[in-house]
Structure formats: structure tokens, C-alpha cells
A and B are shown apart, each in its own frame.
Chain A
Amino acid sequence: MVDWRLFEPLFEFARKRSLWIVSFCTGCGGIEMPPLMTSRYDLERFGMMANPAPRMADLFLITGYVTPKTLKRIIITYELQPDPKYVMAHGSCPLNGGVYWDSYNAIKHLDKYIPVDVVIAGCMPRPEAVMDGINKIMEMIENGTADSWKRYKENYEWYKKNQDELFGEGWREREARRWIPWLMDKKEE
């Protein structure tokens, strides 16, 4: 067989220059994504584009604060992505709560639930700051330090414990069955 490790530098370069973003506006930072994608900042120069399907995506931008209800979807979407995948938290809210540090419905430390590679400070971060973060993540991919997907595999027990503590055991099944009673045919009752 061919030893694919020989091609690893080429692969790293391709990964760096072709980051596809999951289109999931998790918070208010989503409003800075259109300017980033359009003519003033134009992220497509770096080969980035928003992709509606998580299966194809590499980069997960957590754009802003995360509520527990969203976090469930974030975790599921994150697990749908194939390895290697990178997470970039956008703004101070996923970092430490930000303005919502005492809010009853906002996550305070995102990195307890899913691993994060790069955090951009600010509320809301300017597009330049986001581009700086993207530069940073490109550098990290190049020197191999963007390894959050490895960390998630290695420390899965810990992440799972934190997730279960927040949502309660068996939250995935509960979430899947939650709407069943309301989707029954009402006419037949």
C-alpha cells in the first residue's frame, strides 16, 4: 500500500485552504457572516464557504452565546462532521458567558461541552477579528496544533459527563421523542 503519510504536508495545506463552514447561526454573531462572505471581506479568497450540510463541513463557527437548547443541537451537529474538524468560538459569550454571565439560560464555558480550537474575543467581534481568528486556525492546522477533534475522542468520557450533568442522562433520546405526542393525528382521537 502507499504510505499516505508522505502526502501529509499536501493534505494539511489543502485542509488549511479549504475550510468549509457549517451554516448554523447559533447566536448574534451570525449577522457578521454575510459581510464576511460578501464583497467587503470576501472569505472565499481563502477557500472558505458556508455549507448547509454538516457532513461536508470542517469548521464549526459558534457564532455567539449558546443556550442549552442550542447546545444539544451543536453537539449533535458537531458529531455529524467527519474528522478532522475544527471549532472556532466567536465572541466572549462562549468563552466565559460575556454579558450573559449571570443568565439562567446561557452556557458559560463552551469548552466544557465540546472542544474549541480558537476563541475570538469581543462582543461582537469585528469581521477583521474573525479573519484574524481564521488566520490563527490556519496556522494551527499547518503546525498540527488544531487537534480539538483528537481531544474530543480521547476525553470523550469527560465531555459526556459534563453534557449529561447539564441536560440529564439520556437527553438525546428525550430530545428525539419530545415532539412525538404533538405530531399525532388529532382527527383520529
Chain B
Amino acid sequence: MANGQEGGMSMREQAIVDKILEKAPYAEGKVRRERRIEFTVPAERIRDFLTLLKKNNFELMLQITPVDWPNDGEIELIYQIWSVTHRTHVMVRTRIPRELEKARMPTVKDIYPVAETYERDAHDFFGVYFEGNWKMEMPWILDDTEQDIYPLRKDFDMLQYVKKKYKILDRFDENKDNYVI
């Protein structure tokens, strides 16, 4: 994005963005650089938008990245999809509230079946519940004793947790809140 190659190099990408936006007026889109585009979509329209993308030859879902923004009170979900046909990477950004009971999304596993795995991952680490994914409660990476905590959220105090769980006190400086190793 810093390279600012918005010139003739990314005409192809701009055409794709225009084509998608024409069919989805609720979304915003832009070209980041060559072979990288991104869209911002409201959370309730995500299924429509991903269906549209799938129809437009965006075949491979690479990952669902949740990013926690506690200052905004929101969790950002980034659906990263690669198009083998267009040779373009697309990020679909959407934001949902970060309170546990409100952090719910409709599942997209019927559009991209692999999303089931990524959704389980996001649920385990961020507590985002994907409605319609029956494997949500299935044990995933974390152990059952830790089911009520979501370690990748920003308000998860890792040091306190480690001290409590593993009962070690050395190597931790109590006065330093910002430690660098």
C-alpha cells in the first residue's frame, strides 16, 4: 500500500473492483496494489457478498483473520480469498461488536466449505460464534479447561494467566508492565 502503484499497473484490479461493486452497492472497495484488492462489507451482508465473489471466480479461501480492536469495541473479521483465475488476493473486511454475546456471525461454510475450519479457529481464539456451523462446540486446539477464555483477544492478560496456571514467579518483573526480551 505504501508503494502507491495506483497507475497503469493496477488497471486490471480496478476493473475487477468496479465489476464487483456494480453488483454490490452496499460494499466499498479499493485497490491496494498490484494483485491486492480489498472490500469493506457490513456484517449482515457478508453471505451475499461472498456468494457474489465465489460466482466471480474467487475460488480459494485462504483464511479468516479476526483482529481485535478493543478501543473501537469491535472485532474485525477479514476473509482472505485468492482468485486462481484473476490471480488476485482479496480481503473482505467486516466488523462486529466484541462483546461475547453479540460477537456472532452467520457461517459461510456452505459457500466456502473450508471456512468451517477457519471458523472453528476464530471461535476458539476470539470467541466469535458462527451460527449454523455445527462443529462450533467440537474440541479444537485449546483444551477443555480453557474453554471460557479467548487467548488472542487483546484484554487477555497472558502474564497473569501464565503465573496462575504454571505457578512460576521468576523471570517476571512485577513493576514493568511493558516487557521487552
In the complex, the answer to whether A166 meets B138 with C-beta atoms within 8 Å is: no
In the complex, the answer to whether A69 meets B138 with C-beta atoms within 8 Å is: no
- A4 beta carbon closer than 8 Å to chain B: no
- Residue from A102, A165, A182 within 8 A of B138 (CB atoms): A182
In the complex, the answer to whether A107 meets B166 with C-beta atoms within 8 Å is: yes
Number of A-B contacts (CB under 8 A): 34
In the complex, the answer to whether A178 meets B159 with C-beta atoms within 8 Å is: no
**A68 CA to B145 CA in the complex, in Å?**
10
- A46 beta carbon closer than 8 Å to chain B: no
**A105 CA to B140 CA in the complex, in Å?**
14
Residue of A nearest to B138 (CB): A182
Given A104-B158, A104-B162: A178 and B142 interface contact (C-beta under 8 Å): no
**A162 CA to B138 CA in the complex, in Å?**
28
Interface residues of B (CB under 8 A from A): 138-139, 142-145, 151, 156, 158-159, 161-162, 165-168, 171
Beyond A103-B158, A166-B165, A179-B139: 6 further Cβ-contacts under 8 Å? A103-B162, A104-B156, A104-B158, A109-B166, A167-B143, A168-B145
In the complex, the answer to whether A102 meets B158 with C-beta atoms within 8 Å is: yes
Could you name 12 residue pairs across A and B whose Cβ atoms are closer than 8 Å? A69-B143, A97-B168, A101-B171, A102-B159, A102-B162, A104-B156, A104-B161, A108-B168, A167-B143, A168-B145, A179-B139, A182-B138
In the complex, the answer to whether B161 meets A178 with C-beta atoms within 8 Å is: no
**A105 CA to B158 CA in the complex, in Å?**
10
- A150 beta carbon closer than 8 Å to chain B: no
Residue of B nearest to A108 (CB): B166
Q: Interface code A81-123, partner B: CB below 8 Å = 1, 0 otherwise?
A: 0000000000000000100011111011100000000000000
**A43 CA to B124 CA in the complex, in Å?**
41
Residue of B nearest to A162 (CB): B167
- A174 beta carbon closer than 8 Å to chain B: yes
- Residue from A104, A109, A174 within 8 A of B165 (CB atoms): A104
Residues of B within 8 A of A97 (CB): 168
State the majority secondary structure of interface residues on A.
loop
In the complex, the answer to whether A178 meets B162 with C-beta atoms within 8 Å is: no
Residues of B within 8 A of A178 (CB): 139, 144
**A9 CA to B4 CA in the complex, in Å?**
76
Interface residues of A (CB under 8 A from B): 68-69, 97, 101-105, 107-109, 165-168, 174, 178-179, 182
Minimum CB–CB distance from B112 to chain A (whole Å) comes to: 23
**A153 CA to B159 CA in the complex, in Å?**
33
- Residue from B161, B162, B167, B168 within 8 A of A165 (CB atoms): B167
**A179 CA to B165 CA in the complex, in Å?**
25
Minimum CB–CB distance from B173 to chain A (whole Å) comes to: 12
Residue of B nearest to A165 (CB): B167
Residues of B within 8 A of A103 (CB): 158, 162
Question: 8 shortest A-B CB distances, which residue pairs?
Answer: A108-B166, A108-B168, A69-B143, A104-B151, A104-B158, A104-B161, A168-B145, A68-B143
Residue of A nearest to B151 (CB): A104
**A57 CA to B21 CA in the complex, in Å?**
63
Given A69-B143, A168-B145: A109 and B168 interface contact (C-beta under 8 Å): yes
**A116 CA to B145 CA in the complex, in Å?**
26
Residues of A within 8 A of B156 (CB): 104
**A108 CA to B168 CA in the complex, in Å?**
8
In the complex, the answer to whether B145 meets A167 with C-beta atoms within 8 Å is: yes
Minimum CB–CB distance from A127 to chain B (whole Å) comes to: 28
Minimum CB–CB distance from B26 to chain A (whole Å) comes to: 37
